[in-house]
Amino acid sequence: MKNLSAILGLVVLPLLATGCRDSESTGQGPGQALVPSLSGTDGCNGAAQAFSAGQVLTNVPLGTWVGDNFSQMAGARGGELLYLSGAAATIVEVDLTGGGVPLETVLVNPGVVQAVVDPLASGPAPILSGLTVLDSDTLAVMEHSFNVILLVSRSVPDTVTLLAGLPNTVPGLADGPAGMARFSFGTPSQLVATGSGQLFVADSANHVIRRVRDDIVSTLAGSGAPFFADGELATSLFDTPSGVSVTCSGNLLVTELGLGAAGGHRVREIQIGAESFFGQLGTVSTVAGDGTIGTTDGLGGLALVDSPMGIVTSATGEAYWVDGGSGVLRRWMPGTDAVDCPLWTDCAAAVAGLGNFTQGGVVSLVSSDGGILYALDASAGQLLRVTP
């Protein structure tokens, strides 16, 4: 079992705080703010988009990648380099540097993941969804049939090993050594790496946020039941978290699908405080939505969201996600707490126009170094680009 801290390195760098709310850094103990990944684009990356109403999304033609309804995407810093999970538990690297014809490289072929998680081929076919770039040579990816997190080499094709989770088709919620921990990846969801040796996971069917650090898996927030509660980290509650990203002020943003019908349909912020004798301190607050299903403009909780997913954050503080129910691209601007539908004149027009992506589908986003927003619409089998 590889040590995650060794993979990521314990890097201490100044945070890219330009444009982020001062309040995001309050309540943090010394050294508690998360460091966005230096290798991946899952959080605090790329410039804010210069959107205009009616802006057209451009289709990026792909020939090698074949998706399914669980497919998701991650990006690497240093170029327009994307990683897409796909059908038959495959992973394809897509190099869009220079804006020319995409260069596709298959990193994981069919059958490779099954040999790792189910060598006797006695269970269901493996399914991949969320993935994140750990370092210059490694990805982490969620596998759903056996509820584990895998390591995938970015340089040696078909090199896959277990990182965390005990392979089992019966899901569970158990903390402890990475190789014995239990997850429940019931819906397509995300995980995100940080530059401080940690991996945060939206454990969707367990309704919790998990942390992998020093080969130990722990529950950061949530109780295992689908409810809603802001406040202290230890008593916070979530309903089907689907997305997770790191802000440039060192916090986590989490989207909730709300499939348990007891909460969800919100974007939440987690501030991680100091570690105490009684456990991890911190707070959870709501950034957008109030649990009511809808896609509307407004400030903070007054702006309704509908099954949000695929959240990413820019270096200037904005957060982007997709309302899965309406298929609309959303934006939160932390300086004002305004939530809108940036590709439309307003959210009413977005809903009337049937949105930007497949309604009820699965969409993931990447904000590249060059300030380009990529969207993978898994249900439509399309990679789309929004150029500022």
| Mean pLDDT across the chain | 90
- Other beta carbons within 10 angstroms of residue 10's beta carbon come to 11
CA distance 347 to 340: 6
Cα–Cα nearest to 278, from 235, 236, 234, 238: 234
pTM beyond 0.75, yes or no: yes
Confidence tier at 33 by pLDDT (50, 70, 90): confident
Which residue would you say has higher pLDDT here, 54 or 334? Answer: 334
Residue 16 is predicted with a pLDDT of 32
CA-based nearest residue to 243, from 152, 164, 129: 129
Q: pLDDT digits over 71-94, tens only?
A: 999 999 988 999 999 999 999 999
Please name each of the domains of the chain with its CATH number: 4-10+32-45+58-369 (2.120.10.30)
Residue 21 confidence class, pLDDT cut points 50, 70, 90: very low
Cα 278 to the center of its chain, rounded Å? 29
Measured from the Cβ of residue 379, the count of other Cβ atoms closer than 10 Å reads: 18
Q: What is the mean pLDDT of residues 212-239?
A: 96
pLDDT band at 17 (very low <50, low <70, confident <90, very high): very low
* pLDDT tens per residue, range 228-275: 999 999 999 999 999 999 999 999 999 999 998 789 999 999 999 998
pLDDT greater than 50 at residue 5: no
Angstrom distance (rounded) from CA 121 to CA 382: 31
Q: What is the distance between the alpha carbons of residues 107 and 192, in angstroms, rounded to a whole number?
A: 20
> 32: pLDDT confidence band, cut at 50, 70 and 90?
low
Give counts: helices (H), strands (E), the chain: 3, 27
Work out the average pLDDT over 203-212.
98
Over range 41-45, report the average pLDDT: 91
